[in-house]
Amino acid sequence: MAHTEHASMRRVLRREVAGIIGLLADERDFTAMKGYRSFTFHDHDTYLQQVESLLQSLAAQGGHTSVALFDPDEYAEFCADEGLEPDTPTSRTRFTAALAGTGITVPYEGQPLADLLPDLVDEAVRQATWEYASSVLARIGTCGACGQDIGRDAFARASHLLTRVLDTAGTGTHHLVCSIPTDAETLLSVLHVDTRTEGTAHLDEREALELTTVLALGIATRSPGGLVLRTTAPDKDDRVQGWRLRDERLLPLTAAEVFDAYCTDAQSGDLVAPESGVDYCAAPDLGDTGPEGHHTH
């Protein structure tokens, strides 16, 4: 009787334990790990199938499991820093545990692994984008003419511009995309805002921080970026508007410019058919006001 009771208690406690799985999401990372003799998987597809079965099994037991991207390069650095032998399951477990506190994780909620993977990759890209933009803003330093912190002033200006965009957006569900070109690649940041009643906006604060940081990077580096706003409201066609970033301003695009941007293939330059049920509209002028003391040099 006591043995049965203890086993039952352990099953209850097991449901209280949160787990994390480090996932090799793509073939290249999987191939890199095959260089370790203790890593016994040989086929990436089979590996993914086994991971999905494990996730399903853990969920069936009532446990909570998160999935993180397992990066072989970061793993090698972790082992070097911690003085660990990388070719052991124990070291891989320790690295995966560390990801719970520092890495990007997505909770497993019974969805197919094929649906979870894109979310996990998107989260990793978002985090990398924000970290890159933040680090550049922090390194820019002060203006030689006025001594103001360029990155801080750019962030304040970007916050003001985002507020102005949302003030003019009206009611509905809003999808904002900010794009800022850099030497390496174009940074993209997305923000979803639900404004069901005038003046009341519901948004994800982390998304807002990320988009503001990316926009601030464009302002601080004088990059020719832009912002697109798509609004969905009941019983209405979707409305698409846009602004181009010039210096510290978001200048409104005309309806024709928005149409051209949406209906042109970004890679080939070929025209594509416009979406049905979408109005391509001129954006409102956001004005030239800003936070007092914003940087203008």
- Say which DSSP state 184 is in: S
* pLDDT value, residue 220: 93
Task: Tell me the residue ranges of DSSP E strands in 29-171.
Answer: 64-69, 105-107
Residues 6+ apart with CB under 8 A from 100: 20, 66, 68
Task: With beta carbons less than 8 A apart as the criterion, state whether 30 and 41 touch.
Answer: yes
Residues 6+ apart with CB under 8 A from 65: 18, 19, 20, 21, 55, 58, 59, 107, 108
Query: Under the phi-then-psi rule, with left for phi > 0, alpha for psi from -120 to 50, and beta for the rest, what region is 268?
Result: alpha
* pLDDT value, residue 195: 86
* pLDDT value, residue 293: 43
Of the candidates 160, 173, 209, 203, the residue with the CA atom closest to the CA atom of residue 189:
209
* pLDDT value, residue 6: 44
* pLDDT value, residue 31: 95
Q: Is residue 123 classed as helix, strand or coil in its secondary structure? A: helix
* pLDDT value, residue 10: 47
* pLDDT value, residue 2: 46
Amino acid at 140: I
**Which residues of the chain are modeled with pLDDT < 50?**
2-3, 6-7, 9-14, 16-17, 293
Could you read off the pLDDT of 234-257 as tens digits, one per residue?
A: 889 999 999 999 978 999 999 999
* pLDDT value, residue 297: 53
The residues facing 174 across adjacent strands are 193, 231
Q: Determine if the pTM surpasses 0.75.
A: yes
* pLDDT value, residue 296: 56
